[in-house]
Chains A and B, each alone.
Chain A
């Protein structure tokens, strides 16, 4: 069974600080996606990384896919209260073109 473990499960920091959340697996994924979910809403896709070692930037968010395509990280610079939410990673197994394996999420709170 393929699993994705996210850490930390919960993070509460002050506005302006930097943070990194991790998504790890022992399995290889053909791609990995990061989503943000607001309370009472569905997940919204932030980014898809496909190539091992790939780095993508979205304003203050930096996403990295591990060289072996088994892990990924999300780094937020100068966090703002608007970044508060649940961040989920989801990996696409190599043998499927539609299945997604989901992590349990990192609940992020940015205090003003």
Chain B
């Protein structure tokens, strides 16, 4: 049973470009969470999604950031017009049906903005 998959593992973008981060949850998991981690800091919650629904996006900047979890395919975290401050590790986690279940984390995507 494969774990949470994220790709790419490393992504380099120039300022102003778009970044697309993908997350495939564990098989059978319908809840996806996105977190951001800066060096020497803990994880910061960004958004919580279920299939085709955004449940809580309170941790995500209102501009330039968007997330989706379509009926088919992976969850996507999209950052438009990236800036240097967007450089961070972005982690996706998934859980089974109940939101309070354990969250299983992917290996992360390390975004570097030049």
Q: Footprint of B on A, CB under 8 Å?
A: 4, 6, 9, 40-45, 48, 88, 90, 92, 97-100, 102-105
B48 close to A98 (CB less than 8 A): yes
B43 close to A43 (CB less than 8 A): yes
B107 within 8 A of A: yes
Q: Footprint of A on B, CB under 8 Å?
A: 4, 31, 33, 40-45, 48, 55-56, 91, 93, 95, 98-100, 102-108, 110
12 other contacts beyond A4-B42, A98-B31, A103-B42, with CB at 8 A cut-off?
A: A40-B108, A41-B107, A42-B4, A42-B107, A43-B105, A45-B103, A98-B33, A98-B55, A99-B56, A100-B45, A102-B42, A105-B41
B105 close to A100 (CB less than 8 A): no
A105 to B37, CA, bound (A): 11
B100 close to A92 (CB less than 8 A): yes
Q: Which of A6, A90, A97, A98 has most chain B Cβ within 10 Å?
A: A98
A-B complex: 9 closest residue pairs judged by Cβ atoms: A42-B105, A102-B42, A98-B99, A97-B100, A102-B43, A104-B42, A97-B99, A42-B91, A43-B105
A100 to B33, CA, bound (A): 11
A99 to B44, CA, bound (A): 10
How far in angstroms is the closest Cβ of chain B from A90? Answer: 8
Kindly list chain B residues whose C-beta atoms are within 8 Å of the C-beta of A105.
40-42
